[in-house]
Structure 1
């Protein structure tokens, strides 16, 4: 990281301080660890949210009303589809989605860090100016 410091002159000496920094490299291993932990937290939140949404829908009798409606229509073929929205299957689906998201988010974040390092080597990285007033 390059650093440049400017200090104010005259009456306001010391009142303004500016530091220019450049993010020239991102450690891919650190990005992978952090993105893995954040995506695991997101996966846990996904499973909990699926449980809460299913519990709310079941509490509002959405599934039983839908089954009664399909029985009045004599749509027995569609009643069998309601087995796919039972709690154990829904929790399995949510867990599968969470695991796939953990793998994909970790891989994409790590790949993004590696690509950033390549691009930053070519153009110098992202420059950030910090000011203290």
Structure 2
């Protein structure tokens, strides 16, 4: 008759190691952290990014002004203003007054385009200058320190 070998009982050290492994598996892992320091910003990249974002802002502002002026025209605001001026001023001069001679859609959108073009130039220049100033101050002071953490 063949008997099965008796199972060996784990030693005390093995049991302790198994418990430690189980506890480590059950415990939440701590997220990793990285401390980084931003010591230089590339002015060329800042200039390209600022230029593209300012062009997007210019397009949005021109479209917004065009939409507002179109809605005001569709709501008959201009004729209402003309009528109010005629009622207040009276006389023959009031009949020749037209607010759209001063605030017409073409004139306002043209002015908005000029302001948008100047805005593109100024925002690009200011952002690039800001990158140069940041690089100079970061070389003296060490830059901005950022801590990145990994979620569990």
Fold in common (TM above 0.5): yes
Query: Radius of gyration: which is bigger?
Result: 2
| 1:129 corresponding residue in structure 2 | 147
Where does 1:22-101 land on structure 2 (aligned, <5 Å)? 22-74=37-89, 76=93, 79=97, 82-101=100-119
User: Higher strand proportion, which one?
Assistant: 1
1:98-132 Cα deviation digits (max 9, x unpaired): 00110110010000000000000000100000111
Tell me if the contact between 2:82 and 2:97 (Cα under 8 Å) persists in the aligned partners.
Answer: yes
Q: Which fold has the larger relative contact order, with Cα–Cα distance below 8 Å and residues 6 or more apart in sequence?
A: 2
What CA distance in whole angstroms lies between the structure 2 residues aligned with 1:84 and 1:36?
Answer: 32
Q: How many correspondences in the alignment?
A: 124
Q: CA RMSD in A?
A: 2.1
Length-normalised TM-score, structure 1: 0.85
| 2:137 corresponding residue in structure 1 | 119
Mind listing any 5+ residue stretches in structure 1 that lack a counterpart?
1-9
Mind listing any 5+ residue stretches in structure 2 that lack a counterpart?
1-22
